[in-house]
Amino acid sequence: MKANPAPEIIQLLATLGSRFDIASRYELDLCLSLGVPATWLSYGNTVKKEVDIAYAFACGVRLFAFDSVAELEKLGRQAPGVGLQFRVLSQGQTRIGLFLENSVVTWPWRMNYSSNVVISG
């Protein structure tokens, strides 16, 4: 959306099956007004107002990003049961651990930039 929010571009990409990462209520409304299904949108801004989370959830957005406990708590209150993306910034070699369904999954993390891991369910 940020690279080129021109309606003609969004519509063309949508007809080709593209999905969109939005960062604001304005971008959500623009996509919806152009016929993009809410299920094709992810709310990638990691600093959101609770009212905007609730609005996006009510519109049908089911994938949200977070990078802090505070954001995760807001999502839990306003958009229960959605898919989540968490953003991790690593400054060197470390190990990332996830607690998934009563087990711990770990792997080496050697990236020096933000990276997304998608957890759904």
Band (29; pLDDT cuts 50, 70, 90): very high
Domain of 109 in residue numbering reads as 7-119
Domain annotation covers residue 21: yes
Count: domains in the chain: 1
Domain annotation covers residue 86: yes
Model pTM score: 0.74
Tell me the pLDDT of the chain averaged across its residues: 80
> What is the domain-level CATH number for residue 69?
3.20.20.10
Domain annotation covers residue 20: yes
> What was the pLDDT predicted at 26?
95
pLDDT above 60: residue 100: no
pLDDT single digits (tens) 53-87? 999 999 999 999 888 888 989 999 999 989 888 77
Answer whether 96's CB lies under 8 Å from 106's CB: yes
Domain annotation covers residue 91: yes
